[in-house]
Amino acid sequence: MKKIPVIIDCDPGHDDMMALVLAYGSQKLDIRAVTTVAGNNTIDNTTRNALNVLHYIGADHIPVAKGLQDPIVRSHKEVMEKLAENRRRMYPDQGSQEPKEKIVGASAHGITGLDGFTFPQDNPMQVQPMSAVEMMAKVLRESEEKVTLIPMGPLTNIGLLIRAFPDLVEKIERISMMGGTSEFVLTRPFMEFNTFVDPEATKIVFESGVPITMFGYDVTYRVLCGKDTIEQMEHLGNKTGHMAASLLKFFMERHNKNLSHLGLSDTTPIHDACAVAGVIDPTLVTQSKRLHLDVEIGGTYFDGATICDYAHCLNLPENVEVVYNMDTQRFLQMLVDAAANCQ
Ligand code: BDR
Ligand code: CA
């Protein structure tokens, strides 16, 4: 069967790791490039983590290109400080976390951005001698068919691509993104991490005219992975299963500790893998709605909040398919099968 051409833009990240395993191990996607973005951690760390995951699972041939340290308008450091401030306000009793983690990014991923597994030091993979945006443009330009973009970090690279190469926008088949939320509250009302980090890039993407499917917190906190799935990964007996199980265990512990008030006991979302799964098999989506979406960029409290116009107040065209639910069992089985297909 013909594979679907995709570019994956990521900031690994534990769920990014699982998304990469799914994308590669599913054998349904033709991964033309992996590009990196700063988000969960600095651009140096997310890029190193992406190279480590790809090498470890046997996907060395996939070209990787590095993005920028800062979002389009803001600085990564400033955004992380705001995030830490929000966390302190919302979760005052979590003051014991190490301060350094609050500066580098999402505390769910630890200091390196991918804590919980030690990768070998002798990874020969190198980044390509071009930026993430140039790499995306190259793939789109050289492709005979349209290419699907799967961003699973802040939308910085995709926003820059759209602005820098408007003539290539028509070569984008669809954007299947992990980001945004219509109702779920974690650290700010209506705020999800990826859209919070780069609201300006999110706005460019929403206004691009490219078909968008949004796998935000609405769905990712409904489709939860339990201990049994992690055990299945471990029992596969291959390198990828062991690595994925170790990292997911870490991720689950962090979620259960940091977000105990959500009742996440022995479960974890695997946000980014949802956006990949939706491309591999769109029939996994069991509930979604086409809406007009915008993003708040100038507010006191709401920067990065995704505004979903349910009541058609703005009278503007529907630009995003917002996903609310997926077939959890099939999704989790897909993750295990993909890990089994890797080395
Ligand atoms: C998103 O933020 C990151 O921490 C995850 O990797 C995911 O992309 C979830 O809000
Ligand atoms: Ca991510």
pLDDT at residue 230 greater than cutoff 60: yes
Work out the pLDDT band at 94, boundaries 50, 70, 90.
low
What's the average model confidence in pLDDT over 38-46? 95
Q: Which pLDDT belongs to residue 100? A: 46
What's the average model confidence in pLDDT over 225-251? 97
pLDDT at residue 107 greater than cutoff 90: no
CATH of the domain at 331: 3.90.245.10
Catalytic residues: 271
Among 17, 18, 40, 184, name the best residue to mutate to test ligand 1's pocket (greatest count of ligand atoms within 8 A of Cβ): 40
Kindly report the average pLDDT of the chain as a whole number: 92
pTM of the model: 0.95
9 pocket-lining for ligand 1 (C-beta < 6 Å): no
User: At 180, which amino acid appears?
Assistant: G
192 pocket-lining for ligand 1 (C-beta < 6 Å): yes
Helical H runs in the chain? 14-25, 43-57, 76-90, 99-104, 132-142, 156-164, 193-197, 199-206, 217-220, 227-235, 239-258, 271-280, 328-341
Contact at 8 Å (CB) between 116 and 251? Answer: yes
Cα 1 to averaged position of ligand 1 atoms, centre (Å): 31
Among 8, 194, 250, name the best residue to mutate to test ligand 1's pocket (greatest count of ligand atoms within 8 A of Cβ): 194
Q: Which pLDDT belongs to residue 10? A: 98
What's the average model confidence in pLDDT over 75-84? 88
Query: Relative to the alpha carbon of 271, which ligand is closest?
Result: 1
Number of folded domains that form the chain: 1
Q: Which pLDDT belongs to residue 190? A: 67
Q: Relative to the CA of 220, which ligand 1 atom is closest?
A: 9
pLDDT at residue 292 greater than cutoff 70: yes
Q: Which pLDDT belongs to residue 324? A: 95
Range of the domain at 254: 4-341
Cα 40 to averaged position of ligand 1 atoms, centre (Å): 7
Q: Which pLDDT belongs to residue 98? A: 45
pLDDT at residue 309 greater than cutoff 50: yes
Within a 10 A sphere around the Cβ of 141, how many other Cβ atoms? 11
C-alpha span between 314 and 319 (Å, rounded): 13
Percent of the chain past pLDDT 70, that is, above it, reads 92
Work out the pLDDT band at 99, boundaries 50, 70, 90.
very low
